[in-house]
Amino acid sequence: MKPYFPLPAALILLAALACRHTANDYSQWSEYLGGPDRNHYSTLTQITPDNVSQLKVAWSYALPDSGQMQMSPIVVNGVLYGVSATVQAFALDAATGKELWRFGDTLKVWHSTSRGLAYWADGDDQRILYTIGPHLYALDARTGQPIDSFGEHGKADLHEGLPESARDKFIISNTPGTVFENLIVMPVRLSEGPDAAPGDIRAFDVRTGKLAWTFHTIPYPYEPGYETWDNKDAYRNTQVGAANNWAGMALDRQSGLLFVPTGSAAPDFYGGQRLGKNLYANCLLALDARTGKLKWHYQFTRHDIWDRDLPAPPNLLRLRRNGRWVDAVAQVTKQGYVFVFDRQWGQPLFPIRDIAAPPSALRGESAWPSQPLPLLPKPFARQAQDLTEADISPYAPNRDELLRVFRQSDKRLFAPPNLDGVLLLPGYDGGAEWGGAAADPEAGILYVNANEMAWILQMEPAASPTGDGPAPGEANYLAFCASCHRPDRSGNAASGYPSLLGLAQRRKQPELLALISAGKGMMPGFPQLSAGQKKAIVAYLLDKEKKETAAQAGSGATPAPLPYRHTGYHKFLDSQGLPGLAPPWGTLSAIDLNTGEYRWRIPLGEIDSLTQKGYPITGTENYGGPVLTASGLLFIAATKDAKFRAFDKNMGRLLWQTRLPAAAFATPATYQVRGKQYVALACGGEKLNTPKGNRIVAFALE
């Protein structure tokens, strides 16, 4: 790897004066991921590589509920704000952890996931903005009480501005909105099936909750991009939807440019009813934050049939190019690529090559014939087409069985979904995941953690609609639930989808009806289903289909079936539940975006049972991003092993680690109160079959 030589200070100053540069205050942590550029970066230097080993728990706050927390807190005026596992907002004294207030309906618990909240202030008017279910709330930051003048008594409906066809469809937000002036632009999570709402990007007035502007990600007939859909009625939101931003956005406040990464069009995996390139799905959009007008875009996956959503906000940083500074935007992807562009004009800063992609073999499908591939930087995660049989795990007791699956799976680059199975690596979650990358905004170094988990993507013919088909409850279950919980209801515990067999002994009908409507964790809700459809599904799950369905099926029909359906989410695992590929199973990389070369790459996380036997560090699956400091540190939790680590960001050397009360699948925050620097993070566990937790933990020097 090429050494990095810092430029002389005088040259840096002259270059800075010669170009436009957004001066962010990196000493605060008042916004999601540290700032509007989403760089996870702090100029605080009290904690250093020399003293980081002296970190101790400064305070710990126990929430009344437990479970997965993906939340990254923010800190404003000495107050830490966060969101619990059941989507209750809370405020703590950031120096002591003492609770100041908590907001949320404790009787109607939302089992969702939230990655945080946003803050806005104008003088004494200080607001926290966050979501519960389909509503955006505005709370008084000092008291936690809803602001009555916002929306309807403190909340605005996230359906606002969507077409009438989407008014009853599933919509929530897992990620904080982006605040610009008196606007908040909201990411939204939608269904990924043919029932999905359209993923329009929408801004709301922070004071009133009223809709301010809309950008249609599935263009209307009079808008550019409409021609990229063979289905000219796609914008009408019938059997086609999504292309939404769910991962969050980055903002250049000085230029007013908002950078919005979007996900795939729906339904996933089979796109026969949405042929074409499908703009503006799978794009990085540069929008005017005041108006929503498109400045430029780049599409990373054309006609996505792999669920290759852009998983995280981009990073805004400065790079050195041909003797001058360039304001850049870097986007990490699930595929393990980094695409880097000139922020103002959208020109690629490294070569991107169009490569031929294999055609689809599925009836009615037409994979796009070419896809873009960046030549630099090289991928930060392994690629399926580069694997050999030597890459099968040496720890697997059933290695022969894994070899058989490996040999018969399609491993070609951009291999389209088929009936025999595609080895998808990086898998559905990446590569890069929602934790995203950290960046040193001045040095131009990107730090990204990655999963190295392969999954099997496979399709099967859908059952033909005949009079002898399944009863309504089973039919609706197969349409909406089977891709995760399997057609036989056996689930897939290794992939995080529980068995639904024997559910009558664990759940009651009202609870199941509520879960189907509202969702739970990363399970979407299905509010668009009729009461009869929901009751029919519950009757089927409780093994009462024959007795109850005929009377309760009611109105509402199962969607017109597609010719093929996804067989579900199946990790490529050995018989012990460990990854079927050889390590590393999780990595952390430092990439110099000035040159496209890697500074270092290391495994991230460990399997204790293997380490205790003397095996090398393997890395683990990981969710949640890193935090950087100007003193030379990189903090990251994210791993299945429930450890919190600090690395030397220049060399990748481990400097300190501690075991947390529960795994922290969340990005930390670092801040300073009354002269002391803290690093805080949410420890909720539950994901990857880890024990549940309920604590916010802050570390500081003694």
pLDDT in tens, 291-306: 999 999 999 999 999 9
Overall average pLDDT of the 334-361 stretch: 98
Q: pLDDT band at residue 479, thresholds of 50, 70 and 90?
A: low
Its pTM stands at 0.89
Q: Which of 59, 57, 66, 63 is nearest to 685 (CA)?
A: 66
Spell out the alpha helix ranges (H) of 598-643: 608-611
Q: What is the pLDDT of residue 22?
A: 44
Q: pLDDT band at residue 14, thresholds of 50, 70 and 90?
A: very low
Least confidently predicted of 342-356, 548-562, 571-585: 548-562
Per-residue pLDDT at 4 exceeds 70: no
Q: What is the pLDDT of residue 473?
A: 77
For residue range 205-237, what is the model confidence (pLDDT) as tens digits?
A: 999 999 999 999 999 999 999 999 999 999 999
Q: What is the pLDDT of residue 10?
A: 38
Q: What is the pLDDT of residue 668?
A: 98
Q: What is the pLDDT of residue 540?
A: 82
Per-residue pLDDT at 7 exceeds 60: no
Per-residue pLDDT at 563 exceeds 90: yes
Q: What is the pLDDT of residue 527?
A: 66
For residue range 439-455, what is the model confidence (pLDDT) as tens digits?
A: 999 999 999 999 999 99
Q: pLDDT band at residue 509, thresholds of 50, 70 and 90?
A: confident
Overall average pLDDT of the 530-559 stretch: 64
Q: What is the pLDDT of residue 546?
A: 64
> Which residues, 6 or more positions from 421, have their beta carbon under 8 angstroms from its beta carbon?
405, 408, 409, 410, 456, 457, 458
- C-alpha span between 479 and 520 (Å, rounded): 18
Spell out the alpha helix ranges (H) of 542-583: 545-552
Q: pLDDT band at residue 11, thresholds of 50, 70 and 90?
A: very low
Q: pLDDT band at residue 307, thresholds of 50, 70 and 90?
A: very high
Q: What is the pLDDT of residue 112?
A: 77
Least confidently predicted of 219-223, 450-454, 459-463, 607-611: 459-463
Q: What is the pLDDT of residue 98?
A: 98
- C-alpha span between 526 and 170 (Å, rounded): 6
Per-residue pLDDT at 354 exceeds 70: yes
Q: Could you tell me which residues are beta bridge partners of residue 437?
A: 448
Overall average pLDDT of the 5-11 stretch: 38
Q: What is the pLDDT of residue 556?
A: 52
> Which residues, 6 or more positions from 84, have their beta carbon under 8 angstroms from its beta carbon?
63, 64, 65, 69, 71, 90, 102, 104, 694
Q: Which of 511, 639, 667, 697 is nearest to 114 (CA)?
A: 667
Q: Could you tell me which residues are beta bridge partners of residue 250?
A: 259
Q: What is the pLDDT of residue 130?
A: 97
Per-residue pLDDT at 18 exceeds 50: no
What domains can you pick out in the chain, each with its CATH number?
158-313 (2.40.10.480), 463-561 (1.10.760.10)
- C-alpha span between 100 and 214 (Å, rounded): 36
- C-alpha span between 430 and 453 (Å, rounded): 8
For residue range 98-126, what is the model confidence (pLDDT) as tens digits?
A: 999 999 876 566 667 899 999 999 999 99
Q: pLDDT band at residue 487, thresholds of 50, 70 and 90?
A: confident
Overall average pLDDT of the 643-658 stretch: 98
**Residue 363 burial (CB count, 10 A):** 9
Average pLDDT, the chain: 90
For residue range 229-270, what is the model confidence (pLDDT) as tens digits?
A: 999 999 999 889 999 999 999 999 999 999 999 999 999 999
Overall average pLDDT of the 93-98 stretch: 98
Q: What percent of the chain has pLDDT over 90?
A: 80
For residue range 268-281, what is the model confidence (pLDDT) as tens digits?
A: 999 999 999 999 99
3-state secondary structure of 626: coil
Per-residue pLDDT at 548 exceeds 90: no
Distances in whole angstroms, Cα of residue 84 to Cα of each of 67, 122, 436, 698: 8, 27, 21, 16
